Structure 1
Amino acid sequence: MAGNTETVARKVVSLILAVCVDLSLFYASGCVVTHSVFGHLARLWVSAALRCLALTAVTLFSLGDFKPLLIRFITAHSLLPAVFETGSKALYHEETQCGLLADIRCWLMCAGASLAAALFWEITIPDADDAAAGKEKTQKARELFVRVLLLYKPYYHLLLGGLVFLSLAVICEMFIPFYTGRVIDILGSQYQPNEFISAVLFMGLFSLGSSVSAGCRGGLLLCAISAYTCRMKVKLFGALTKQEIGFFETIKTGEITSRLSKDTTLMGRTVCLNVNVLLRTFIKTLGMISLMMNLSWKLTFLVLMETPITGLIQNIYDTHWQRLSLAVQDSMALANEAANEVVSGIRVVRSFNTEKHEARRYDDRLMDTHTLKTRRDTVRAVYLLARRLTGLGMQVFMLYYGRLFIRSGQMTTGNLVSFILYQSDLGDNIRTLTYIFGDMLNSVGAAGKVFEYLDRKPQVSTEGQLKPDQLKGHVSFRRLNFAYPAYPNKTVLQDFSLELKSGQMTALVGPSGEGKSTCVSLLERFYEPQDGEILLDNEPLKSYDHRFLHKKIAVVNQEPVLFSGTIRDNIAYGLPDCSLDEIQEAARKANAHDFIKQLEKGYDTEVGEGGGQLSKSERQRIAIARALVRQPQVLILDEITSSLDTESENKVQQALASCPNQTLLVIAHRLKTIEKADQIVVIGDGRVQERGTHQELMDRKGNYYKLSEKLFTEGNSPQ
Structure 2
Amino acid sequence: MECARIYAAATFLDLAVCSALHYGAALVLPPSNTPNSLTSLAQLWALAGLRWVLLRLLCALLPKAGNNAVLHRCMVAICLLGPVYESGLLFFLGNHPENWSGSLSSPGKTILATVATATACLFWEVNFPDTGEEVSKGSNGTEKKQKARELFMRVIRYSKADILFLSGAFVFLTFAVICEMFIPYYTGKVIDILGSHYQPSSFFAAIFYMGLFSMGSSLSAGLRGGLFMCSLSRLNKRLRVMLFQALVKQEIGFFEVTKTGDLTSRLSTDTTLMSQSVAMNVNILLRSMIKTVGILSLMVSLSWKLTLVTFIEAPLIAISQKLYNTSYEKLSKEVQDSIARANDVAGEGVAGIRTVRSFNSEQSEAHRYDDKLMDTHNLKTCRDTVRAVYLLARRLMSLGMQFLMLYYGRQLIKGGQMTTGNLVSFILYQEDLGSYVRTLVYIYSNMLNSVGAAAKVFDYLDRKPQVSTEGDLQPENLKGHVQFQGLTFTYPSRPDRPALQGLSLDLKPGQMTALVGPSGGGKSTCVSLLERFYEPQEGEILLDGQPLHQYQHKYLHRKVAMVGQEPVLFSGSIRENIAYGLLDCPLERVQEAARRANAHGFISQLEHGYDTDVGERGSLLSGGQKQRIAIARALIREPQVLILDEVTSCLDTESERMVQQALASCPSQTLLVIAHRLKTVEKADQIVVIDKGVVLEQGTHEELMSRKGSYYRLKERLFTEDAEGQADENEQPIQ
Shorter-chain TM-score category?
over 0.9
What pairs up with 1:35-184 in 2 under 5 angstroms? 39-63=39-63, 65-94=66-95, 99-100=102-103, 102-127=105-130, 128-129=133-134, 132-184=139-191
Gaps of 5+ in 1: 1-8
Residues 484, 684 of structure 1: CA spacing in aligned structure 2 closer, same or farther, 3 A cutoff? same
- Residue identity matched to 2:105: A
Q: What is the rounded CA distance, in whole Å, between the counterparts of 1:558 and 1:349 in structure 2?
A: 22
State the 1:640 CA deviation: 1.2
Residues 13, 178 of structure 1: CA spacing in aligned structure 2 closer, same or farther, 3 A cutoff? closer
Residues 617, 136 of structure 1: CA spacing in aligned structure 2 closer, same or farther, 3 A cutoff? same
In structure 2, the residue corresponding to 1:34 is in which secondary structure?
Answer: coil
Two-structure CA RMSD over aligned residues (Å): 2.2
- Residue identity matched to 1:109: L
What pairs up with 1:626-665 in 2 under 5 angstroms? 626-665=633-672
Q: Is the 8 A contact 1:11 1:63 kept in 2?
A: no
- Residue identity matched to 2:183: I
Q: What is the rounded CA distance, in whole Å, between the counterparts of 1:10 and 1:469 in structure 2?
A: 79
Residues 459, 433 of structure 1: CA spacing in aligned structure 2 closer, same or farther, 3 A cutoff? same
State the 1:60 CA deviation: 2.7
- Residue identity matched to 2:176: A
What pairs up with 1:562-711 in 2 under 5 angstroms? 562-711=569-718
Q: Is the 8 A contact 1:141 1:442 kept in 2?
A: no
Q: What is the rounded CA distance, in whole Å, between the counterparts of 1:238 and 1:376 in structure 2?
A: 35
State the 1:699 CA deviation: 1.4
State the 1:385 CA deviation: 1.1
Q: What is the rounded CA distance, in whole Å, between the counterparts of 1:330 and 1:260 in structure 2?
A: 14
Show the counterpart of 1:34: 31
Show the counterpart of 1:527: 534
Q: Is the 8 A contact 2:14 2:51 kept in 1?
A: no
In structure 1, the residue corresponding to 2:521 is in which secondary structure?
Answer: coil
Residues 426, 296 of structure 1: CA spacing in aligned structure 2 closer, same or farther, 3 A cutoff? same
Q: Is the 8 A contact 1:554 1:627 kept in 2?
A: yes
Q: What is the rounded CA distance, in whole Å, between the counterparts of 1:235 and 1:281 in structure 2?
A: 32
Residues 263, 10 of structure 1: CA spacing in aligned structure 2 closer, same or farther, 3 A cutoff? closer
Per-residue displacement from partner, 1:12-45 (whole Å, max 9, x unpaired)? 9999777644543455676768256972221222
Show the counterpart of 1:480: 487
Show the counterpart of 2:456: 449
TM-score of the pair, normalised by structure 1 = 0.95
Show the counterpart of 2:193: 186
Q: Is the 8 A contact 2:489 2:537 kept in 1?
A: yes
State the 1:375 CA deviation: 1.1
- Residue identity matched to 1:426: L
Residues 416, 519 of structure 1: CA spacing in aligned structure 2 closer, same or farther, 3 A cutoff? same
In structure 1, the residue corresponding to 2:468 is in which secondary structure?
Answer: coil
Show the counterpart of 1:248: 255
Q: What is the rounded CA distance, in whole Å, between the counterparts of 1:447 and 1:483 in structure 2?
A: 33
State the 1:581 CA deviation: 2.4
Task: Provide the aligned length of Structure 1 versus Structure 2.
Answer: 711
- Residue identity matched to 2:31: T
Q: What is the rounded CA distance, in whole Å, between the counterparts of 1:62 and 1:222 in structure 2?
A: 56
State the 1:542 CA deviation: 0.5
State the 1:271 CA deviation: 3.7
What pairs up with 1:147-296 in 2 under 5 angstroms? 147-296=154-303
In structure 1, the residue corresponding to 2:153 is in which secondary structure?
Answer: helix
The answer to whether structure 1 residue 541 and structure 2 residue 548 are counterparts is: yes
> Which deviates more, 471-480 or 570-579?
570-579
Q: What is the rounded CA distance, in whole Å, between the counterparts of 2:183 and 2:598 in structure 1?
A: 80
Q: Is the 8 A contact 2:189 2:206 kept in 1?
A: yes
Q: What is the rounded CA distance, in whole Å, between the counterparts of 2:485 and 2:138 in structure 1?
A: 54
Q: What is the rounded CA distance, in whole Å, between the counterparts of 1:544 and 1:354 in structure 2?
A: 48
State the 1:91 CA deviation: 2.7
Show the counterpart of 1:5: none
Gaps of 5+ in 2: 722-727
State the 1:528 CA deviation: 0.7
Q: Is the 8 A contact 2:467 2:532 kept in 1?
A: yes
Q: Is the 8 A contact 1:271 1:443 kept in 2?
A: no
Q: What is the rounded CA distance, in whole Å, between the counterparts of 1:472 and 1:161 in structure 2?
A: 60
Q: What is the rounded CA distance, in whole Å, between the counterparts of 1:251 and 1:621 in structure 2?
A: 32
Q: Is the 8 A contact 2:644 2:673 kept in 1?
A: yes
Residues 27, 539 of structure 1: CA spacing in aligned structure 2 closer, same or farther, 3 A cutoff? farther
Q: What is the rounded CA distance, in whole Å, between the counterparts of 1:22 and 1:489 in structure 2?
A: 73
Q: 1:24 aligns with which of 20, 23, 26?
A: 20
Q: Is the 8 A contact 1:32 1:43 kept in 2?
A: no
Q: What is the rounded CA distance, in whole Å, between the counterparts of 2:265 and 2:7 in structure 1?
A: 51
Residues 10, 705 of structure 1: CA spacing in aligned structure 2 closer, same or farther, 3 A cutoff? closer
The answer to whether structure 1 residue 395 and structure 2 residue 402 are counterparts is: yes
Q: Is the 8 A contact 2:41 2:97 kept in 1?
A: no
Residues 11, 654 of structure 1: CA spacing in aligned structure 2 closer, same or farther, 3 A cutoff? closer
Residues 423, 178 of structure 1: CA spacing in aligned structure 2 closer, same or farther, 3 A cutoff? same
Residues 96, 518 of structure 1: CA spacing in aligned structure 2 closer, same or farther, 3 A cutoff? farther
Q: What is the rounded CA distance, in whole Å, between the counterparts of 2:60 and 2:580 in structure 1?
A: 79
Q: What is the rounded CA distance, in whole Å, between the counterparts of 2:264 and 2:104 in structure 1?
A: 67
- Residue identity matched to 1:499: D
- The percent of aligned pairs where both chains have the same amino acid is 60
Q: What is the rounded CA distance, in whole Å, between the counterparts of 2:442 and 2:9 in structure 1?
A: 37
Residues 14, 398 of structure 1: CA spacing in aligned structure 2 closer, same or farther, 3 A cutoff? closer
Q: What is the rounded CA distance, in whole Å, between the counterparts of 2:367 and 2:492 in structure 1?
A: 32
In structure 2, the residue corresponding to 1:664 is in which secondary structure?
Answer: strand
> Which deviates more, 292-301 or 342-351?
342-351
- Residue identity matched to 1:279: L
- Residue identity matched to 1:34: P
- Residue identity matched to 1:71: H
Q: 1:317 aligns with which of 314, 317, 324?
A: 324
Q: Is the 8 A contact 1:271 1:444 kept in 2?
A: no
- Residue identity matched to 1:383: Y
> Which deviates more, 439-448 or 399-408?
439-448
In structure 1, the residue corresponding to 2:649 is in which secondary structure?
Answer: helix
Q: Is the 8 A contact 1:460 1:527 kept in 2?
A: yes
Q: Is the 8 A contact 1:22 1:55 kept in 2?
A: no
TM-score of the pair, normalised by structure 2 = 0.93
State the 1:352 CA deviation: 2.1
Show the counterpart of 1:341: 348
Q: What is the rounded CA distance, in whole Å, between the counterparts of 1:26 and 1:484 in structure 2?
A: 80
Q: What is the rounded CA distance, in whole Å, between the counterparts of 2:606 and 2:268 in structure 1?
A: 37
Residues 354, 96 of structure 1: CA spacing in aligned structure 2 closer, same or farther, 3 A cutoff? farther
State the 1:311 CA deviation: 1.3
Q: What is the rounded CA distance, in whole Å, between the counterparts of 2:11 and 2:444 in structure 1?
A: 35
Per-residue displacement from partner, 1:373-414 (whole Å, max 9, x unpaired)? 111111111111111111111111100011111111111111
Q: What is the rounded CA distance, in whole Å, between the counterparts of 2:566 and 2:61 in structure 1?
A: 81
Q: 1:304 aligns with which of 292, 302, 311?
A: 311
Q: What is the rounded CA distance, in whole Å, between the counterparts of 1:257 and 1:167 in structure 2?
A: 38
> Which deviates more, 538-547 or 137-146?
137-146
> Which deviates more, 109-118 or 472-481?
109-118
Q: Is the 8 A contact 1:471 1:537 kept in 2?
A: yes
Q: Is the 8 A contact 1:317 1:383 kept in 2?
A: yes
Q: What is the rounded CA distance, in whole Å, between the counterparts of 1:237 and 1:96 in structure 2?
A: 70
Q: Is the 8 A contact 2:192 2:420 kept in 1?
A: yes
> Which deviates more, 630-639 or 354-363?
354-363
In structure 1, the residue corresponding to 2:495 is in which secondary structure?
Answer: coil
- Residue identity matched to 1:115: A
Show the counterpart of 2:725: none
Residues 673, 108 of structure 1: CA spacing in aligned structure 2 closer, same or farther, 3 A cutoff? same
Q: What is the rounded CA distance, in whole Å, between the counterparts of 1:194 and 1:466 in structure 2?
A: 85
